[in-house]
Amino acid sequence: MRVSQQIFPRAVALIVTISKDGEPNVMTASFLMPISFEPKYLAFSITPTRHTFKNLKEVKEFTFNICDESMLEEAKICGSYSGRDTDKFKLAKLEKESSSQVKPPLLKKSPVSFECRVEGMKEFGDHWLVVGRVLKEHVREEEFIPLLHKSGDIFPRLK
Amino acid sequence: MRVSQQIFPRAVALIVTISKDGEPNVMTASFLMPISFEPKYLAFSITPTRHTFKNLKEVKEFTFNICDESMLEEAKICGSYSGRDTDKFKLAKLEKESSSQVKPPLLKKSPVSFECRVEGMKEFGDHWLVVGRVLKEHVREEEFIPLLHKSGDIFPRLK
């Protein structure tokens, strides 16, 4: 059994990063968690072959954009293509919005977005754990139904 | 808005630790995530005032026992009392089972349990992030409905 079928469902977020040349990229993540209330810290896990990983090595900032149920297609697209050869913002029709504390942009469609500075990055097994401190948050909707993932094409839904 | 109301729902696990004197304790956690598939790694977050934190400083091992929907009362009890003055196993009627790779026991009622060795512990804000490598897993049920938490007394349910 894969660990994704054992620890589930998981909230889904779109992680936006930027290269040292200023090219943004967006990746879907569901291996993620809150760590601390005040100040807010959160974590996500990433495979080192991802384009987002290269960006994080260059610019230690990201935005963490929570997906609601309406963002299923966007999450699938940003989890299936590589930012190396695809502009996933365009492909998924994701509108960007400028951040005020970090370089990577926010996603306008997300009910809640966090601007984060990387405060820890460490390899564990086949992934790297990334810890970010929230510098600023954007709450566009206080009430929303989160998009959830189990594994593969299984996206459980809340009652 | 608290981060627990922004990144939700979260799977719930009962974390079992043991003191250097061999006294086990159990704590409810929902700030948790999988990190790596092979080998399996996982993480959870804990406030340093917890009795479980003291145990983890003494014996760097834990078991991570996933809660299914039938374990709501057990999760509430193990999240409300302190192991300093309460035997929460007795109070929540949680039957223990011996681990083979670590000292803290497993919980028999859990559909999936992991025996873990602590490979990282670091302070971020008001919590500590704990990373464990799974040394052995126990799958008692392949199909189960996970218990989920949002915040306070809100435990969302899957469709």
Regions of chain B where pLDDT drops below 50? none
Q: For B61-71, what is each residue's pLDDT tens digit?
A: 999 999 999 99
pLDDT higher than 90, residue A84:
no
Checking A37-40 for CB contacts under 8 A at 24+ apart, the result is A37/B2, A37/B3, A37/B4, A37/B125, A37/B126, A37/B127, A38/B125, A38/B126, A39/A133, A39/A134, A39/B125, A40/A114, A40/A133, A40/A134, A40/A137, A40/B3, A40/B125
Tokens of B144: 């189960």
Stretch A143-147: mean pLDDT: 98
Gap between the Cα atoms of A35 and B65, Å rounded: 19
Q: Answer for the pair A14, A83: CB distance below 8 angstroms, yes or no.
A: no
Place of tokens 């009430």: A143
pLDDT higher than 90, residue A82:
no
Q: Which of A35, A66, A131 lies at the smallest CB-CB distance from B6?
A: A66
Beta-bridge partners for A113: A65, A138
**Is A3-149 CATH 2.30.110.10?**
yes
Distance from CA of B29 to the nearest CA of A (A): 11
Inter-chain residue contact A142 with B1, CB threshold 8 Å: yes
Q: What DSSP letter does each residue of A71-112 carry, written as one string?
A: GHHHHHHHHHS-TTT--HHHHTTPPEE--SSSSSPEETT-SE
How many helices (DSSP H) and strands (DSSP E) are in chain B? 3, 11
As a whole number of angstroms, the longest Cα–Cα distance in chain A is 44
Can you tell me the ipTM of this complex? Answer: 0.97
Inter-chain residue contact A40 with B10, CB threshold 8 Å: no
Model pLDDT, residue B83:
83
Residue A49 neighbours by CB distance under 10 Å: 9
Q: Which of A45, A119, A142 lies at the smallest CB-CB distance from B124?
A: A119
Place of tokens 């935005």: A63
Q: Answer for the pair A149, A12: CB distance below 8 angstroms, yes or no.
A: yes
User: Which chain A residues touch B33 with a CB distance below 8 Å?
Assistant: 7, 10, 31-33, 43-45
Model pLDDT, residue B82:
86
- Measured CA distances, B114 to B135, B138, B139 (Å): 7, 6, 9
Inter-chain residue contact B125 with A37, CB threshold 8 Å: yes
Residue B80, H or E segment: helix B72-80
Question: Residue type for A145, please?
Answer: I
Q: For A4-24, what is each residue's pLDDT tens digit?
A: 999 999 999 999 999 999 999
Distance from CA of A152 to the nearest CA of B (A): 14
User: Which chain A residues touch B45 with a CB distance below 8 Å?
Assistant: 33-36
What is the value of pTM for the model shown?
Answer: 0.97
Confidence of residue A139 (pLDDT cuts 50, 70, 90): very high
For chain B, give the mean pLDDT: 97
Gap between the Cα atoms of A75 and A88, Å rounded: 10
Q: For A39-49, what is each residue's pLDDT tens digit?
A: 999 999 999 99
User: Which chain B residues touch A38 with a CB distance below 8 Å?
Assistant: 125-126
Q: What is the dihedral of CA A147, A113, A88, A130, to 10 degrees?
A: -90
B13-18 and A96-97 strand pairing: unpaired
Tokens of A7: 């620890």
